[in-house]
Amino acid sequence: MVAGALALGAGGTWLASGLIENDSEVSAEAMLAGFERQNKLVVLVAQVVPVVTNKDPGFIGMFDSEQTAIIPATVSYSLNMAQLGADAIVWNETERRMTITAPPVMIQQPNLQEQQARYYRDGLWVTGSSVERLFKANSASALKQARALARNESLVAIARASARDAIARNARAYLSGAGMEDAVVTVRIANQGANLQ
């Protein structure tokens, strides 16, 4: 078994409290300060399922043993809102339009759920030291595969869409608080790729 399965988990949520100002005047600077206070914004949490196999030579190179492991892993996709520059938010008073350029999506280090792992071993004589080596090898292989699965284009696209939606919802809440319920919000993601942390 060499293929990895993908399973989408629940996305993160972000509340608008702290962004809404009492002032009725729309200010890109105030909006920027509000976003920066959020620091890291988690926009999606997904599950990837690496399936890996390793072999161990066993006793003096004889009695090879093999172990296949299925180890689920969770991975978070986030934005570093502190990276927003001064020109990231533009408010057009005439068109009543706010345009936001968000930071790139970051893929956090996958977290292996080894307590939920399933293992399948094959070998005539499997020693304790061989089992330990197989566990370590499969954990390392699973983490490597989880990183690759986390970069799946479909998951990254969902994370970007979730990021745009979260930022737009909060911007609309801010604008609504300023009496601009009819304002239009456009959100773009800078550098449409994703960075693995």
Residue pLDDT, tens place only, 144-156: 999 999 999 999 9
User: How much is the pLDDT for 35?
Assistant: 66
Q: Does pLDDT of 21 surpass 80?
A: no
Q: What is the pLDDT of residues 106-124, one digit of tens each?
A: 999 999 999 999 998 776 5
What would the mean pLDDT of 16-28 be, rounded to a whole number?
Answer: 48
pLDDT of 51: 95
- Rg of the chain over Cα atoms, rounded to whole angstroms, equals 23
By the 10 Å C-beta count (0-12 exposed, 13-18 middle, 19+ buried), 109 is classed as middle
* pLDDT > 90? residue 74: yes
For the ranges 25-34, 83-92, 144-153, 172-181, the one whose mean pLDDT is highest: 144-153
* Section 36-44 average pLDDT: 78
- Contact (CB, 8 A) for 86 and 28: no
If one compares 72 and 1, the residue with the highest pLDDT of the two is 72
List own/partner pairs for 116-122 with CB under 8 A and 24 or more apart. Answer: 116/71, 116/72, 117/69, 117/70, 117/71, 117/72, 118/69, 118/70, 119/67, 119/68, 119/69, 119/70, 120/67, 120/68, 120/69, 121/65, 121/66, 121/67, 121/68, 122/65, 122/66, 122/67
Tokens 């399973």 belong to residue: 7
Question: Tokens 């599950």 belong to which residue?
Answer: 47
Mean pLDDT of the chain: 79
* Beta partners for residue 68, in sequence order: 53, 120
